[in-house]
Structure 1
């Protein structure tokens, strides 16, 4: 009789934790001869050049057709376009509007067109180096997309959809099996950009995480051993009243795999991905209401006798027609070093407001309820070391009550330096934000596939923090490498909360 293990998601998470006693033994020197190229090339197909439509003040014909091209061009550029060229080891690294761990950019962006007057039916790959769409398959595949997505209602009236895939080796080359975490955090950054860029350009993306993986991979003609679909986003055109659609269900469950063999190092990532897939023929098992997950009415943690500090504040202003938001998406960079100086409590409150209170931005034409997979599963803790008018310590952020609840009184600079693998960003930051989730409870709701959802949601929140910090001239940098278990022990975070992502904030040096 086969041995019963913990679920494969639990197994993966435990096995890819960084531990101070074993990390140095596992570290390997990178083989630079095998460094992956973060771009995809096609030898055949026809190209649609988007560069003439990239900026609002670019002279283009004042026609409905030109305006449509301008909107799709700006959406893609703000989401994943190249924003800078940096020299690196005799070569160059091209930075994009969405951050990526190690500058490896594992995500690929595809467009599926139902067939419109301007965009013929078929499959397109977004070529960010040339800011163009490569039309590499010219037949209608929309019905196949609908079937693979269990006939999701958002695909009934929309004409185009974004599909995001991951090219696994791009991250695994550097981060090995733990790369799976970073791939989905990076995709979450991209989802955050798509959400905001869509609002700027009168689109509404409808997030779909529940689909038949094999069917989407086959539809895109990708090699599932090297690349896999991870999110589908039908784009509703808000200028077409028929496409003003109600939100649909974003997340569907997969199986929970407990019967698995010993998996050698280097094979865990691909094995885990394969066993979080939804298989064809499971429609009956996925008979769930087509509505978004209801928000719980109260925040998860209400520690007795803790100090409670309100965080409600004035919304960040993003300028006429959101021009400041577009500029911020273009100039955003991860901070490389902090000075150790304080930030203000007003700045921290504004960052939290933009990230967790989107309803406060409806008057600026931003989506008041953007799609996530399930934010009820994500918790937020903040280690404060240098925020004016806020005592040092660890706080739980309660987004529904809009308050900080202090759980430990201490300056954690030395400990944060250690927890972040000796990175000075942890030591010199004014505040460090931790996104966590109760993995056991999450798997009980969504099966092992929830590991994808959790990290994409954490990355999405992280990208909103990135953009808000950039707008306020606060330094910001995400950290995906940390001593997992020690974070809970040092900061007093409940032990059942698995740490997903860290975002550091401070004054740039």
Structure 2
């Protein structure tokens, strides 16, 4: 682990500088007394174009229609990623691109700008992720480095030849997820660096499920030599940088040795007339980068003891649906109709079996080089058979522990910076982590891993709600108020991510009093 990655003051200072607080006129960011407006958007003429477009590369046509798989969505969401003998081909890459960063047939107009929704995560619909495939020879596609162009659902070949060994990987395909930070920072300033991993986690939850539905083994990779990976993709690692990799498929010919790769100078459509740099983003990214293969091996060899204190509160054993009772709808259909739900039916309870199934399926182990431990705290407002209150999910025990009973609807809205749908939702799920041991083991890069892991689990839960006919939405919260609310149990932990979910309110229903 490089010395700069080991100096965890960078992660702690970045987190402190990007905390949210409720201010008199909205959200403020920072640590008192150093607070600033949490939202930028100061120059609307600089609003970023939401796509990366290579101006001189010809598009490669890829399939647009996909036959539905036979795997139920909830089975795909909870798959380990290690099973299956499927081999990637061109149609598989098209499926991954479309269903984890493709366009949907839904738009919204915000202050005169029309935004097309995507299957990808996009905090505030400020889409900033790009997908690349580094692959060997595949049926229908020669070896090379390809960019998935979301704006026209095609591939662009960035490099020819098999460059997988430059990534230190042998899988037939390596999916690389990058963020162009400014496209999100235009609205969210330096906090966009958190969002890079939140949105990548959401996108990867779908990519992993799509791979499982196709029977293609998949493994998430968070440890890699940043400069080497960025060089293969032809990106600068500063304004656009790789945030995660995913190995797809197994077997086949090993990756050949690669000579030094020439730099790329491919014209790209400008994102904005000019870009504003928020220095905390490149500083944090550099501080959490790994330099060499030896650094990567050392980083992956570390671990954090996932042991938890024995529960002291009442335990309720979950009752999830068995495999043979899962709804049959495939994940492809679930992803394409996935929505952000902000209207919940407060006149009914969420069924306990649905609640159990979502927690069970979203928290199952998946293949990854590192899976940092995160804790899921729950505000239960209305679940069949459960006392309203605050709970902690214990995945290994298949149970939830009651930490404090009570009606906390008002608190749910308060800690979510006044967003009332959090009070209406049947459950608020908060992911927190103890950064002390996590950063001690993984250094600053452990902060990246924790943010992405929490969002990945939330993404799995979000897909699961739609498979069950329910709804969910990722939200935001005032960092310190979250920790204070879940304390004393959560004292010393750090807020990472929140998703609320429950029974959708019919459009004909009266609003909540």
For the aligned pair, the TM-score class normalised by the smaller chain equals: 0.7 to 0.9
CA shift for structure 1 position 339: 3.4
TM normalised by structure 2 equals 0.81
Greater mean deviation of Cα atoms: 115-124 or 266-275? 115-124
Q: Is the 8 A contact 1:344 1:387 kept in 2?
A: yes
Q: Which of 143, 146, 168 in structure 2 is aligned with 1:121?
A: 143
- Cα deviation, 1:50-81, whole Å, max 9, x if unaligned, reads 13553459xxxxxxxx9943333223222222
Shift in Å, 1:471: 1.2
User: 1:404 matched to which residue of 2?
Assistant: 400
Please say if residues 295 and 376 of structure 1, whose CA atoms lie closer than 8 Å, have aligned partners that are also in contact: no
Taking structure 1 as the reference length, the TM-score comes to 0.81
Deviations 1:123-177 (A, max 9, x none): 110012222111122244233222xxxxxxxx23x22211111110111111111
| Alpha carbons of structure 1 residues 433 and 316: separation in structure 2 relative to 1, 3 Å | farther
Moved more, 42-51 or 180-189: 42-51
1-structure distance, mates of 2:159, 2:191: 34
- Note if contact 2:372-2:453 (Cα within 8 Å) is conserved in structure 1: no
- Does the 8 Å contact 1:318/1:325 carry over to 2? no
Tell me by how many angstroms 1:311 deviates.
0.7
Q: Deviations over 1:18-47 (max 9, x none)?
A: 123584552456233222122110112232
1:434-484 deviation per Cα after TM superposition (whole angstroms, max 9, x unaligned): 1010011110010001111011111110111111111112220111x2111
Distance change >3 Å, CA 336–CA 373, structure 1 → 2:
farther
Deviation, 1:120, is: 1.8
Give the aligned partner of residue 312 of structure 1.
Answer: 319
Indicate conservation of the 8 Å contact 2:10/2:444, yes or no: yes
Q: Secondary structure at the match of 1:343?
A: coil
Secondary structure, counterpart of 2:220 in structure 1: coil
C-alpha contact 2:88 2:216 (8 A) present in aligned 1:
no
- Seen in structure 2, the aligned counterparts of structure 1 residues 489 and 28 have a Cα distance that, compared at 3 Å, is closer
Aligned residue among 19, 26, 32 for 2:37? 26
Match of 2:106 among 81, 85, 96: 85
Structure 2: stretches of 5+ with no match in the other structure? 1-5, 29-35, 70-86, 255-275, 506-513
Q: Distance in 2 between matches of 1:289 and 1:222?
A: 24
Root mean square deviation of aligned Cα: 2.9
**Alpha-carbon distance in structure 1 between the residues aligned to 2:209 and 2:336:** 12
1:357-414 per-position Cα deviation (integer Å, ceiling 9, x unaligned):
3xxxxxxxxxxx4224544521111011111211011011100001111111111111
Which residue matches 2:10? 8
State the distance in 1 between where 2:325 and 2:118 align.
Answer: 21
The structure in which a higher percent of residues are helix is: 1
Q: Deviations over 1:232-252 (max 9, x none)?
A: 222115xx6889xxxxxxxxx
2:415 matched residue in structure 1: 419
Q: What is the rounded CA distance, in whole Å, between the counterparts of 1:376 and 1:170 in structure 2?
A: 28
Say if 1:380 and 1:436, in contact at 8 Å, map to a contact too. Answer: yes
**Which residue is equivalent to 2:96?**
75
Q: Which residue of 1 aligns with 2:497?
A: 501
- What residue in structure 1 maps to residue 206 of structure 2? 193
Contact 2:430 2:499 in 1 (8 A): yes
**Which blocks of at least 5 consecutive residues in structure 1 are unaligned?**
58-65, 147-154, 244-263, 358-368
C-alpha contact (below 8 Å) 1:56/1:70 kept by paired residues: no
Aligned length: 449
Q: Which among 314, 336, 341 is matched to residue 335 of structure 1?
A: 341
- Matched residue, 1:218: 231
| Contact 1:78/1:326 (<8 A) preserved | yes
* Residue 387 of structure 1: aligned partner: 383
Q: Distance in 1 between matches of 2:134 and 2:220?
A: 15
